[in-house]
Structure 1
């Protein structure tokens, strides 16, 4: 049983789940300055977001395997299907079940907090399913990166905030920019690494459409703009001065950028770049959350 749980956690890509934890938490903590913090509703919104991401990860693995994007020669899969740890049918059923559970929680939150949550949840669920699911298969049409930015940036940050306040804030949307950019960089690092195999499979990710050199520039831009946006928001007092502590993670960001720069198109040299970018996103997001906590203490 313990081994089975480990396999399912691997299928959910546990290392990447900060991509949903960070934005929802940022939205909720930012709301604490304006209203009483509601722990139960925060946990429910967090659980719904994590379930959405886990379902997308599993359904993505299923679709990539069925469409022959993931093979034994590629490095993009987490391996649970290729290593016969789970069957494609099990992954598909698991992804749909987790998505359904997330939707049930979303419906409860919509009932308690208003129809706007229903709208956000519906956009998130449909977008997540359509990431690689038929008929839209957005990742295969070069739309994966913008979709990830929308879901794990504005959608989740605003959702975490709205559950607490039942309001929409321009500042919250601005706050979603750096975390959305870094989360998109995780996917983009994956796509750059997999250009050869993705092209061989006949799909068109953004990295394939614009070419590897330009794809690298986009990765650099996603990372650098995350820091620039925090500097700008701190200057205009959207975020507290404590938010400048995010600059502590800049050496890690530069290390990732340098790894991509010197890779010279080698997929093996970029094997862990998506995981390293996920670590950067988690560190950056955690510091941003702490800075918001400091500013909300009265």
Structure 2
């Protein structure tokens, strides 16, 4: 389904494609880590955790739909696109349908946000509103920041800091150093998903005037960026555990290092559409890291109290 010829699919299948389910680990991973940390620190709250998880997934789907619409409107999505199929460009859904769908999904996320507001107060409303505005402004509006090289910063802030600290806050009603520290490595891994996406799209992004960091500085720079962020992920995790800022069980996340090494090697050798494999792999890496990290601190707490 990633070629230039659109597949024959039903309307329901088109909506599933538009939601881009392979991107959802990026939304779930930070929530999983924050919830495990909350459990280990005895501030876990099931309803808040589930609402945060569902809200994060809805925000990701809404952002995917909005990007599908706005990239099509701005000419960034063309038949020459090498990435996974975009439903608006492929004619599977109309622009109006996709924009309406984004509005509905963001509305549902807002309802969950209102529920979390009743639990944890006004900071939740600020995070939720900022997340929706950031999703829309990434490719929408007169000056989309995703077209000007600010995508990595936004992804780190919202998929790292806001997602982890926000999920922890709605359960604990406070912010801890451990929550802030936990946000850093998973934020960096999720940024790398965007790095692969932008590396693959350099030719079409430059042609459409979409100047991501990869489009500005080139393929070699983007590959080095991926390597540096991957190395920092594991060094920061190791360092913060050794400093006592995170539970020792978090070191179980190191078992995902072989996957990170393999992906980094592939990114140095693959180009174009072949990078879609690395894109999916980078999302799987973030999920594997988060699950291993979470399992480690839960086991540690269970065994040693």
Normalising to structure 2: TM-score of the pair? Answer: 0.92
Mapping for residues 1-298 of structure 1, pairs under 5 Å? 3-263=10-270, 266-297=271-302, 298=305
C-alpha separation between the residues in 1 aligned to 2:42 and 2:257? 33
C-alpha separation between the residues in 2 aligned to 1:174 and 1:39? 22
Do the aligned residues in 2 keep the contact of 1:70 with 1:76 (CA within 8 Å)? no
Q: Secondary structure at the match of 1:126?
A: helix
Do the aligned residues in 1 keep the contact of 2:24 with 2:60 (CA within 8 Å)? yes
Indicate the larger mover: 186-195 or 73-82.
Answer: 73-82
Change (3 A) 1:145 1:252: same
| Deviation, structure 1 residue 36 | 4.2
Normalising to structure 1: TM-score of the pair? Answer: 0.94
C-alpha separation between the residues in 2 aligned to 1:13 and 1:186? 14
Q: Secondary structure at the match of 1:157?
A: helix
C-alpha separation between the residues in 1 aligned to 2:32 and 2:261? 26
CA RMSD of aligned residues (A): 1.7
| Deviation, structure 1 residue 6 | 3.4
* Shift >6 Å, 4+ stretches: none
C-alpha separation between the residues in 1 aligned to 2:219 and 2:175? 38
| Deviation, structure 1 residue 143 | 0.6
Q: Name structure 1 gaps, 5 residues minimum.
A: none
Q: Name structure 2 gaps, 5 residues minimum.
A: 1-8
Q: Secondary structure at the match of 1:131?
A: helix
Aligned pair count? 295
* 2:6 corresponding residue in structure 1: none
Do the aligned residues in 2 keep the contact of 1:30 with 1:296 (CA within 8 Å)? no
